[in-house]
Structures are given as structure tokens and as C-alpha cells.
Structure 1
Amino acid sequence: MPRVVRRPRSAVRHPVTITVVAVLLLTVGYLVAAAVVPFAPASAATTTYAAPTTTTPELSFPGYGATAVEATDFPESLRTSGDREERSIASISKVVTALVVLDEKPMRRGERGPTITFTKQMQGLYAKYLAQNGEVAPMPAGLRLSEYQTFQVMLMKSANNYAGALALWAFGSLDAYERAADTWLDEHGLDHTRIHEPTGLDPDNTATATDLVELGQLALANPVVKEIVGTKQVTVPGVGEIENSNKLLGLDGVEGIKTGTLDEAGACLLFAATYERGGRKVTVVGAMLGGVDHDSLDEDVQRLLRSVADDFQVVTLTHQGQTFGTYSTPWQDGADAVAAEASQVLVWGRTTVTAKTRLDRVTFGDRGERVGRVRFTISDHPAVTVPLELDRSIADPGVWWRWTNPFQGT
């Protein structure tokens, strides 16, 4: 019989044991690898932004002369009507006089400035301007007023002799004043304004309506001028009670600034009004030249101002919680990237709004976590950036999903 060789039982089990151990090691290695392998970021996609709509303004311009109007800080609002030629501006010239004199003899808010003693040369201007049918105010011998009081008489009553007196006081002669005015206009970019003397009785004192809008903004930026042109009535010692020649002052938000009347110019008004729109104050500055009389001109100014004020609009860029992107994961979890806050902007007239969304790389995240931003570009306005956040949490799916969906999240 053939001889049967028996192997030891331990020798038979050895390869089986190795195999089992190897399988166990592979299994453990897989489970460990599947449990700790990092996930790739969630898939991100931006949503389409529906831009808000705005309207085209329709302003109520008069059918004569030249008009320009603009809301300060809203350069897109500048609108004109009539001709664009340089026109005689009459007593609006005194606004230039005020600013040129203040450049030479500055005053701050609350100050009254130095005392002015009116000389015989200054007093002689009364008869000179009265002979030209110009507005004058008493200037008795020995009269002494502060610079501020002299400005009140010039700007409120539009007294030509006080305008001339200020020019003589500040510069020594009317010729020197003319040179100073020319320099000041050049420094402030008022290239279409010509000032030859301080009162406006010379019809060759001219400007375009758009230049006058800029002049009005410069005047309102000066606290002394703004305060005086916004005063309805005052009593000046030696002069008496004077009233502001601007009859619109205090109506429909009007806060100044200067009337003008001359045969060659017609009725003119450089005006400003302030309104509250969208939780902020906005100022509208305009100039209307060439009217028949101040009563009809004032009505036209009021209509124009109302039409400008009505074209302010609060545009909602985004609501809080508005979706601008989405995140999705292989384990069917996900979240939206939403605006962390609401955002609005005050605009005038037709405005274009575009949005550009940037989403961060996100794998997991908690609700409210910042995950990007959206940048709004608004025509004629600074850009606005709003942060984005997760509207809900994106959690780790857990070990079981990792084991049963090997490496799907990588």
C-alpha cells in the first residue's frame, strides 16, 4: 500500500489564517481610508440676478430762456432746457461777489467778521447805482457794520451799493475786484461765467445755466452764505428791516439762494431746495434764466422742483435671505448662499444695476457662515458689496455613508 504522509494540522491552518488576516487587514484599511479620506468641496452654482427696474424722468421745464437743474451728489440728474449760451445773470452776480470776498476775508460759521467803516467812496455808490435804477439800501454817514451784516444787506435785499462797498473794502478798487473774480472763477472751473463788476447791473456779467448750478453748489457749501441766503428777514442797525428778495424761500423745501432782475436778463433765479428721500436729505440746485417776471418764474421753478423730487427712487438691491448661489453634495445635502443683509440705494431717474457673485469653496459649514459676496454695480454710484452666508448647515454625512459610498465625495 502506498504510504500516506500526514501533515501537521497546524501546517494546514497556517495559510487559511494568513488569508483571513489579510482580508481583515484590507477591510480595516478600506474602512479607515473611507472614513478619513477628505471630501472635495461641494458643487457651487450662482443664480441669475433679476435687476430692479427704474423709470425715465420727465421734468417740467419752462419754454423760455435757459434752465439747468441737478441734485447734489447725483451727477446723473443734471438736466438742461433752452439754450446753452452765456446769458446775463443780473444780481446772481452777488453770489460770486460773496464767495470772492470771503476768499479774501474769510469768516467761519458763527463769526461776524471785522467791522467795516463805510467810506465816502462807498457811500457815493448809493447815488451811482440808484441812477441806474438799481436796488440800493441806506448807508448813512458814519455807519459801521460787521462783515456778516454787510453780507446780509447785499444778499438778502440785493443792495447794489453794499455789493460795491464789499468789493472796495476787500480789494481796494473795482478793477482789483474784477481781477480777483476772474481768478476765482478760473480756480473753480467756471469757464463759462464772466464777472466784470460786483452788482450784476452790467449786462455783461454772464454765465450759462449749468455754470450757475455749480456756483449754487459752491455757495451752499459755504456755511456763511448758506445761512444768509436762507434767512427770510432781519433788522440791520442803520439800515432797518430787510426781507429776502427770494419769495420762494421756505416754500416746497426752498432754502435759497439768489434772485436776479435786469432788462437784458429778464427774471432770473438761482435756487436750491432740500427734500427727504429714502431716509436721507437730498438737495436740488437749479438756475432759471430769462423769465418774464418773478411771479411766473417762481411758479415754473416750483413745478420743476416737484418733478425733480418725484424722480428719486429707492432701489432694493437685495433682500435679506435672497439666494445668490447654491451648494450641493454627493450625499444629497446642500444649502443656499443668501444675502446676509438687505441693501438699498437711493437713485435718481433711470439707473442700471448689475450683480457679480463670488462663492467660496465649501465642503461643510454651519448656518450663517460667510461663504462669499455679491458686488452690485450701480450706474453713477459707488459699488455696493453684500456678504453671503449659508442658509442652513452642510454636515458631514457620517461614517456609514462613507463606507457604503466609497470615495464618492472625493
Structure 2
Amino acid sequence: MRRVDTEPEQTREAPLPPLPPLDLLARLTNTPPPPETPTRTLVRRIRIWTPVLLLLAVVFIGAQALRPLPDPALGAARTLYVLPGSFEIPWPDHGQGAVRIPGSGEIAVFGEQKPVPTASVAKIMTAYVILKEHPLKKGEEGPRITVDAKAVEEGKAKHESRIEGLTAGATFSQQDMLKMLMIPSGNNAARLLARWDGGGDSTAAFVAKMNAAAEELGMDDTTYTDPSGLDPKTVSTAVDQLKLAEAVMKSDVFRAIVAMPNATIKGLPEPLYNNNDSMLLAGLSIKGIKTGSSTPAGGTLVWAAYKTVGSRTPLILGSMMGQRVDGPDPNATKSLELVKSNSEKVVAAVRSGLRSVTVVSEGEVVGHLDNGFGRRTPVIAAKDLTVIGVPGQKLRAVLTGPGGALPRAAKAGTEIGTLTVGSGPQAPSVPVTVHGQVAEPTFTDRLSRLG
């Protein structure tokens, strides 16, 4: 008979988890673990977190030490200088105008600067583009330009300014053609120059160049539709015209032409007489630039004058547009006389008001050099800075670096940049130096830098 095992089957139990070291030691030594206290908890946490915090500190210090340094920067103490006193310009009751001195900036602006017809003032841009595309040096006559049949026919027009007596096939130098353009304001000379430049029978390509040049000069409110200004859709503002005048008056050839009261050109039956001759001879040192008149435009004028102040003789530029007389005015002849008369008053007033003013004295603090960590060293003018302007005129001030990177360390008196007061390439400027030693950033600076 088979034996039956009646003993109960033993079941396996899952192994218990390992005890903590202190509990295990207590069991082995038969000593109970010490009770949990805040002190024991704090000590255990310190032991755990101290290595982690030390590692993070090492990483932070290394990152701060290797991090690229911020660039030093110059900061100006003032961005605007206002000349002492007050000054009034005798502007007319209507229209718009502006006056500026290249280098000093705007003296005054009058009226709403909205685009209005320019009339023959547009020829300033025609001359500018011609001289830009075909530069002439002082005394050069330039290439010969052949008169075409269109120029001859346009010379017979009775209701526009033109050069009469041209014959097809005759040639004139570029300089003589510019005289025909600017002195008696020949519309047919303007169109002939435009066709000559474009090499075809149309002026469209040249007009595109006129608008491109206006854009380059920042003449945002100007549009040219023809090279003569006869088209009333050729529009501009007084302020825009001074941007052009400042650029074109840099040409020796242009300045000489627009200052001529008259000129005799071989091949023309009569001398050329300037529409601006009364102003050129008014004893106000007016040396151009261009008049304009038409029924849509009224009288327009852009002028240039000079005034010796101390040891300098600055160029003064002005413009006036939209001048109209009351009553009938065929071809705006009376309006032309009005704009010249009103402009003469402005020229005389501005010339009488010009002053030479020292706006910054040698040693004056004009800004600071920031080392990038918030430490600032004063910057001072190395010599006096003198400007020419009228009382009350506002002049923009700019503090610029040396052209490369600013130094992180420098001795006292080191030239650090330039202070310019005014606007444009002719604005007066003086060198500036650091007033005190500039030290290299310290290790503490590097560590404390959070931004």
C-alpha cells in the first residue's frame, strides 16, 4: 500500500527588503537605532547636498570666468545743444520754406511741408544727375553734346522758358549746356541733356535716375516726372530741396555756374541772363541757386548765400515754395518777383543773426565710458567746440567711438572718441578723452555679472 504524506506543504515567503545600515547594525549588536531627530535629519541633508552645491559652484565660477565680456560703451551727457537767445525769421504769410547751414543743420522750417509743384527748381536735380553720371572737374568743359531737332523745335515754344537760336547738328560742351540749363532756365536744354544721358529719344530713363537720386538723398516727399519742372506733377518740399542743394553745392563746377549773373556762349546769338540776377547783385553774398515759376507752382526759389563769421565763411542754404500774388498773374511772373523779394528778407535776417558760439569748453564732461559692468569713467572734451548758428537754434550732439572696439583699460587722458555737434559731414567735432584711469574688469566683476 502506498504511503500518503499528510504533512502540510510548506510555502515560500518573499525575501524581506534590506534594512537600513543603522537598523541592521542595531539588530546585529542587539542595539536599537537612535531615534530620528531634526539634528540627525539636518546632518544627513548637509552630507548629501554639500557635494552637489560645491559642484554647482565650480560650474558657475567656470562659466562666469569663460563667459565673453560685455563691450564697453560710450554714453553722451547731452544729445541736444540749444544756442542761447532767440531769433525770428521774417517768413511770408503763406507757402513753405526752410533754411539750413551744412554742418550746423536746420535753422528754421516754415509752413506745412507737403509736396507742391517745383517749376524750374526741378532743374537742380537735372544738373545733379548729369554731374553725377558725367563728372566734371573745375575748369573742364566736358564732352560735346549735339543739338537735335527736338531741342530746336522746343526752342520756339512761346509759353515756356527755353534757349532760342539753336540749330540742329550744332555742338556745345557739357559745361555750356549746364549754363543754358541753370542760368536762363532752358527747358529744351533740360530735355536735351536728359536724352543725351539716356542715349535715346526719350527722357524716361533720365527721370528714373532723378527719382533714384532723390531716394538716395532722403527726399521722401519728392517725385520727378520730367527734367525741366514744367510738368505740375513734379513735386517736392522746401526741406527736401535743401537736401539736394547741400549735395549739389559740393560740385565746384555747379557752384561756379549758378553764381553767374550772365554768360556768353559761343554759338548762341544772345548772352544768357540769370533769372536770379537781382539777388545775385543784391549785396547779400547770394551765389545761386535756382528760381522757378509757373501757374501751378507760383514762385519757387532755392538760394545759397555766404557770411563770414570769425575765421569761417559758412554756406547758408534756403528754399521757399508756393509764393503767389493776389489777382491775375500770367505765367506767374509777379509770383517770381514775390518769392525773390521774400527770400531776400530771409537771407538778410539770417546773415545778421549768425553767431559763432562755443557750445563745449575744453575739459568739460561730455559723457562717460561704461566698462560693461556698470563702472563709468567720465569723458571730457580735449578742446573747445565752436559752432555757427543763430540764437535759439537746436543742434544735435553725437558721441562716437574711435571706429574700432573701445578699450577695456586706458590711462587718464587717452583719446576715446569724438563729440560732434550738428549734422552732416561738415559738422564740427572735437576729440574726447577719459578723465581718470580705466581699469580692466576684475575677477569679482566677472563673478558678480548676472545680466
Give TM class, smaller chain. Answer: 0.5 to 0.7
- State the match for 2:310 in structure 1: 278
Aligned-partner residue type, residue 294 of structure 2: L
Counterpart mapping for 1:356-367 below 5 A: none
Structure 1 residues 122 and 308: alpha-carbon distance in aligned structure 2, compared to 1, 3 A threshold: same
User: Aligned equivalents of 1:85 and 1:323: distance in 2?
Assistant: 42
| Structure 1 residues 150-161: aligned runs within 5 Å | 150-161=177-188
Q: 1:52 to 1:100 in 2, by over 3 A?
A: closer
Cα distance in 1 for partners of 2:273, 2:429 equals: 45
CA drift at 1:134: 3.6
Tell me what 1:302 maps to: 344
Distance in 1 separating the partners of 2:395 and 2:188: 51
CA shift at 1:122, angstroms?
A: 3.0
Q: Distance in 1 between matches of 2:104 and 2:396?
A: 16
From 142, 159, 162, the equivalent of 1:113 is: 142
Given that 1:137 and 1:162 are in contact with CA atoms closer than 8 Å, whether structure 2 keeps it comes out as no
- Aligned with residue 346 of structure 1, among 372, 384, 387: 387
Please tell me the residue identity of whatever aligns with 2:388. V
Measured in 1, the distance between the counterparts of 2:133 and 2:420 equals 41
Q: Using the TM superposition, name which of 113-122 and 210-219 deviates more.
A: 113-122
Shift of 1:312: 2.4
Mapping for residues 59-208 of structure 1, pairs under 5 Å: 59-75=89-105, 77-127=106-156, 130-171=157-198, 172=200, 173-208=202-237
> How far has the Cα of 1:119 moved from its partner?
1.9
* Native 8 Å contact 1:52 1:316 kept in 2: no
Contact residue 151 and residue 191 of structure 2 kept, 8 A: yes
Cα deviation code 1:190-240 (max 9, x no counterpart): 221111111111011110110011111112112211111011111112222
Report what 1:222 is aligned to: 251
TM-score (norm 2): 0.60
Could you tell me how far apart the structure 2 residues matched to 1:323 and 1:103 are? Answer: 42
Cross-structure match for 1:34: none
Offset at residue 104 of structure 1 (A): 2.2
> 2:357 corresponds to which residue?
315
CA distance in 2 between counterparts of 1:174 and 1:188 reads 21
Inter-partner Cα distance in structure 1 for 2:364 and 2:183: 56
Measure the CA separation in 2 of the matches of 1:151 and 1:53: 40
Matched, 1:55 2:96: no
The one-letter code sitting in structure 2 at the alignment partner of 1:212 is Q
The 1:310/1:131 distance shift into structure 2, 3 A limit, reads: closer
User: What secondary structure sits across from 2:132 in the alignment?
Assistant: helix
Q: Is the Cα–Cα contact under 8 Å of residues 137 and 153 in structure 1 kept in the other structure?
A: no
Give distance in 1, aligned partners of 2:258 and 2:179: 8
Alpha-carbon distance in structure 2 between the residues aligned to 1:323 and 1:214: 33
Q: Between 115-124 and 248-257, report the one with greater CA deviation.
A: 115-124
AA paired with 1:168?
R
**Equivalence for 1:368:** none
Shift of 1:274: 0.7
Alignment CA distance shift 1:343-1:160 (3 Å): same
Change (3 A) 1:141 1:309: same
Q: Which has the higher strand share?
A: 1
Change (3 A) 1:352 1:286: closer
CA contact (8 A) 1:72 1:217 kept: yes
CA distance in 2, matches of 1:200, 1:114: 25
Per-residue Cα deviation, 1:84-139 (whole angstroms, up to 9, x for no partner): 11010100111111111222222221110111121223323324xx1543434321
Give the alignment's Cα RMSD to 1 decimal: 3.4
| Residue equivalent to 1:27 | none
CA distance in 2, matches of 1:319, 1:179: 48
Secondary structure in structure 2 of the residue aligned to 1:68: strand
In the alignment, residue 249 of structure 1 is paired with which amino acid?
L
Deviation, 1:343, is 4.2
Q: Is the 8 A contact 1:353 1:376 kept in 2?
A: no
Which whole-Å deviations, capped at 9, do the CAs of 1:254-305 have from their partners, x for residues lacking one? 0000000100101111101011012101111111112232333222112211
Given the two structures, how large is their TM-score scaled by the length of structure 1?
0.66
Aligned to 1:200, what secondary structure does the other structure show?
A: coil
Paired residues of 1:52 and 1:315 also in contact (CA < 8 A): no
Counterpart contact for 1:317–1:376, Cα < 8 Å: no
Structure 1 moving runs of 4+ over 6 Å:
317-320, 351-354, 375-378
Write the distance in 1 (CA, Å) between the matches of 2:82 and 2:418: 11
Does residue 265 of structure 2 align to residue 245 of structure 1? no
Secondary structure class of the residue paired with 2:271:
strand
Partner residue of 1:211 out of 230, 240, 262? 240
Question: Matched residues in 1 for 2:94 and 2:82: separation?
Answer: 36
User: Structure 1 residues 312 and 115 mapped into 2: Cα distance closer, same or farther (>3 Å)?
Assistant: same
Residue of structure 2 equivalent to 1:231: 260
**Cα pair distance change 1:323/1:83, threshold 3 Å:** closer
Sequence identity of aligned pairs in percent? 26
> Structure 1 residues 377 and 56, CA, compared in 2 at 3 Å: closer, same or farther?
farther
Q: Is the 8 A contact 1:353 1:377 kept in 2?
A: no
Q: Aligned match of 2:296 in 256, 264, 285?
A: 264
Q: How many residues align?
A: 306
Task: Kindly report which structure 2 residues correspond to 1:376-395, keeping only aligned pairs within 5 A, or say none.
Answer: 380=422, 384=430
Paired residue secondary structure (2:226):
coil
**C-alpha displacement at 1:53, in angstroms?**
7.3
> Partner amino acid for 1:118?
V
Is 2:120–2:293's contact at 8 Å kept on the other side of the alignment? yes
CA 1:176/1:131 → structure 2, altered by over 3 Å: closer, same or farther?
farther
Tell me, what secondary structure is at the counterpart of 1:281? coil
